[in-house]
Structure 1
Amino acid sequence: MRVTHHTISDAERHPAWGEPGVAFHGADLIDEKTHPSARMTVGYARAAPGGRMRAIFPYDEVLVVTGGSARVHGEDGTVYEVHPGEVLYVPASSDNTYVFDEGFEAVYVAAPPSIYAEHAVEHA
């Protein structure tokens, strides 16, 4: 298999997507399990309005915003407001706080996949 095609509906069928009581949902669609030769993890993320999340990830991540907006408070005090069509690069080990005043949706790309997978297992 060389090329695969995914949509937001693929993420919505993911078991963790609608987990009750969780304000932030992510669904990996391309990872080491589904595509063993992939050098990245790709999925969809969704956050409920009014949510807040602090994150220090051990991997690089890119968010491509597809809906809603978010404010990202970087460790240096800079606040980034992101909207649909914008891209946010989050370097590994940076300390950021995400504020979701309205609903938020994005496609995320994380690398390297082995570090992402290890982190996901530790925080499941």
Structure 2
Amino acid sequence: MFAGNVVDQRHGAPITIGYGRYAPNQRLVETLAVDDVMIVIEGRLSVSTGGSTETAGPGEIIHMPKGEHVTIQSHDEGALTAYVTYPHWQEAQA
């Protein structure tokens, strides 16, 4: 998975805005240190939290609250997303 920030703490913003690229059938398991909103631009992603799974395609939004244990899974075509996090994810993971 590749994440590239466009706006973050370097710009004095209280949020991080960027793009993420997922390879085909890639899986990311993480406990979120920030509130995260992803907008799917291309491809599809499934996000599992607890006992539920939400799948999103182009133009759809997934919200993942801080503290949630999530599994993000791309599908055969991979995915391109835009994201907004609060606070900055780099600082929260440090």
TM superposition score normalised by structure 2: 0.92
Greater RCO between the two (CA within 8 Å, min separation 6)? 2
Between structure 1 and structure 2, the one with the greater Rg is 1
Q: Which residue of 1 aligns with 2:58?
A: 84
Cα RMSD between the aligned structures?
1.1
Q: Which of residues 51, 54, 65 is equivalent to 2:29?
A: 54
Q: Can you give the 5+ residue segments of structure 1 that lack an aligned partner in the other structure?
A: 1-23
Q: Which residue of 2 aligns with 1:103?
A: 78
For residues 75-120 of structure 1, the C-alpha deviation after alignment (integer angstroms, 9 at most, x for no partner) is 2x1110110000111000101101112210110000023xx23235
TM superposition score normalised by structure 1: 0.71
Q: Give the CA deviation at 1:73.
A: 1.1
Percent identity for Structure 1 against Structure 2: 29
Q: Which residue of 2 aligns with 1:119?
A: 92
The total of aligned residue pairs comes to: 93
Q: Give the CA deviation at 1:65.
A: 0.7
CA separation in 2, counterparts of 1:43 and 1:53?
Answer: 17
The ranges of structure 1 where at least 4 consecutive aligned residues each deviate by more than 2 angstroms after the TM superposition are none
